[in-house]
Chain A
Amino acid sequence: SQTIHQWPATLVQPVGSPLSLECTVEGTSNPNLYWYRQAAGRGLQLLFYSVGIGQISSEVPQNLSASRPQDRQFILSSKKLLLSDSGFYLCAWSGGTNEQYFGPGTRLTVT
């Protein structure tokens, strides 16, 4: 069966510091991968989408970037965090169907 992992689970970072969140998927090949963010009191917003290694689409302009160095690895990064980057970050995968399956999430607090 397929599983999706995210780490770290929680993170507290000062403004201006870098960020790296990692997501890996097991049990499937060539998945579509997604990064979403849930800000306080809001729904989930799509940040990045990838259909394959090195292929990244960005939905909204922002202080973040994404990379897919391996088929089942998706990384979310920032060079300098802003207060507004605080939120709950979720990685998801899909493969062959419309349903997307989410990881456990990372709670990021920028102080």
Chain B
Amino acid sequence: DQQVKQNSPSLSVQEGRISILNCDYTNSMFDYFLWYKKYPAEGPTFLISISSIKDKNEDGRFTVFLNKSAKHLSLHIVPSQPGDSAVYFCAALGGGADGLTFGKGTHLIIQP
């Protein structure tokens, strides 16, 4: 079963606007969450993370929000730039697994 879910396979956003990528999880034992950005045929690049004891973490244009009661997190990118076009993976740590548990990814397309 999919413990980390990214229900939007793709998202199209106009350049300069805000991009919001969503992620839901089912395992309440996850205690750390990460977002990765991936270009085709390359390895994922770490973007930003958040501990389960926090509800927000900000780094430049990227902000991650965590709603533990809803088991939901989101990544906000503002303003969106053409170079942000990529696949974004949500990942979780903990829950009894040794490594990261990934969602299937959301393909973000920034329109000029």
Contact = CB atoms under 8 A, between A and B. Distances in A.
Contacts of B89: 43-44
B8 to A, nearest CB: 14
B45 interface: yes
B99 to A, nearest CB: 4
Contacts of B36: 102
A57 interface: yes
Given A43-B89, A43-B105, A44-B89, A100 B41 contact: no
Interface string A47-74: 0010000000101000000000000000
B41 A49 contact: no
B6 to A, nearest CB: 8
A49 B44 CA distance: 18
Interface in B74-112: 89, 91, 93, 97-105
A34 B98 CA distance: 9
Interface string A12-37: 00000000000000000000001010
B102 A101 contact: no
Contact of B45 (A43, A49, A102): A102
Nearest to A99: B46
Interface of A: 6, 34, 36, 41-46, 49, 57, 59, 88, 90, 92, 98-105, 107
